[in-house]
Chains A and B, each alone.
Chain A
């Protein structure tokens, strides 16, 4: 065998390191968030430092905030890295390819290789570009992305700050992403980038309307804008989720999901960076670290949109058969919560993470299923279909809430009915997939050659 051949089997050490990283990195980052977030809250810090001077307490709170901010941005970066690898593997399978499988066992470390490569690359700034804005644009995008983590819940008490305007805050800070994209398109002084930036502005601003109206629906059902309050208004079991408790919310979930795909510039709405038409759209002229920032945000947005949809419609971190009040009661009175409380927190993080990850997979799956739509189709989808449907759902929800006030049983009826409907749909879909597999001769189900 010639010297250029790679070993046929991955060495055991590589497998061990990869598995340790693949298991250890999520556990480490979620664990750090679970432990640090409740401990670094100002109230907890006050209780932990009863004798400190006010100046020392302020310093501790600022340090805690900085640490939390760092932790959240790290989470975003790691998530976007791992999802890149995951998406490439899924994409490979969906296209009858293998996907990256060389860097580490099953190619797990390819995201680190990507990042290292991008960071080491020379950063080019076009001669005719507006250098200041060109350099600043990725940071707008990154800030718009990172700020959403302030109110994104991870678990029962695992949230950086439970603002009482939570979801409203999210919709406002994500608008910063548009500013960054528009800036990058404009300042690149390139026609492709400008087209991409303009398309992005048109797209994101248009789709904020159906998304915003669809967000009204869980808000109206929960009676609060706070993320945690909306989750607490739901329950752990499917028929207690907002998506099933109200027929209009069932539709609104899909409206919100589609609009968020468009806002995150994901396929089929990736017109701003349409590779086949615009080179790479607004980031055509970027290279190196700034390019990496754009991609970090693009893939990190998968988590943001999944987490928001999970929070608003899918019951968030609610653990089945365990009420949020019971977890509150388990905390105990001391400055530090009890061990049982920590256990429930960890479980709620697992529940939330699993839901958000499942939804992220749907995002990935959609990307490799649907072709990019035309810009006129995109606009007509938004204004002629999603916006009227969202308003209709909203009006229906208002009447529904009035009806719930009179007869609370209809929520449970709708919940059970729609849950059964969704279960039937899932079964039909599984049957459809099985039929598709059966139609093909040769290999049937086969997961061996990952």
Chain B
């Protein structure tokens, strides 16, 4: 398009002026403090402590007040919770939870499992740091198949349930496992060799080799496709999980605090997650075994 002479020189002037202003602006930014703060080691507070109280972090289950109602499992829209209930071998009237796995990698933090929980056992903690090299390590096992925990009997007229400080349990689970820990060899369903060992009780002896094997992350049959090392794992066998033979399992060492650590009273309905306050004296004991 044709330009007049004045337009031409106007353009030159504009260019020079915009260089002048633009360069001065970027130079002034060069001499200013960056807005970004470096995570995690240069933040003024730990980021965890700056999160809002109702932040939805990793799901945390306090097994000591879990009633085994499986409401959370049913509520989960993406089936990242897997619960197996069994009868206690010693006391057939006592139901025990032999498997309570939450795939934190799959969880979408919708909070739908928290709402139906009658005792507030499952809640979102404010923990969010859980890097793992192997994604299967993000499946947190809240029940030890060797030592299934008994379901919680809600006392009549109870209006609150003793709960461990929110976040302490899941943090212990993550701290117990270094980020570079190898993932489990296979996901349930177990490889056929493991199936032959022994039927009956899940708490039975496991293969000795399992001591060195990492914890198999529990998962639904849909997750079995993430287990390339289990070529024989038939997805059809997975729905018979409750009756499945013992799994080679090494529970995470930090499981002890989960079972019997200091219990703190928590509001009975799973309302807003409370601050992780220092635990008052324990009001009830942990689960009896």
Contacts and interface: CB of A to CB of B under 8 A. Distances in A.
Contacts of A370: 19, 22
Interface string A51-95: 000000000000000000000000000000000000000101111
A375 to B, nearest CB: 16
7 contacts: A3-B175, A93-B34, A429-B23, A429-B24, A440-B32, A444-B32, A449-B42
B179 interface: yes
Contacts, number: 90
A122 B109 CA distance: 38
Contacts of A366: 23
Interface stretch (A4-12, A191-199, A332-340): A4-12
Interface in A431-450: 432-434, 436-437, 440, 443-449
B33 A5 contact: no
B129 A365 contact: no
Range of interface residues on B (Cβ < 8 Å): 20 to 34
Given A3-B179, A8-B41, A8-B42, A437 B33 contact: no
Contact of B31 (A8, A98, A384, A437): A437
Interface in A93-129: 93-98, 101
Interface string A2-31: 111111100000000000000000000000
A385 interface: yes
Given A4-B179, A429-B20, A437 B38 contact: no
Given A96-B32, A96-B36, A447-B31, A7 B20 contact: no
B33 A443 contact: yes
Contacts of A164: none
A365 B32 contact: no
Interface of B: 8, 11-12, 19-36, 38, 40-42, 46, 129, 131, 171, 174-175, 178-179
Given A432-B20, A433-B24, A3 B178 contact: yes
A46 B174 CA distance: 72
Contacts of B19: 369-370
Contacts of A97: 34-36
A437 B133 CA distance: 44
A91 to B, nearest CB: 10
Contact of B28 (A4, A98, A436): A436
Contact of B27 (A5, A96, A365, A448): A365
Given A2-B171, A2-B175, A98-B34, 12 more contacts: A5-B40, A93-B30, A96-B32, A101-B38, A365-B23, A366-B23, A370-B22, A429-B24, A434-B28, A436-B27, A443-B32, A445-B32
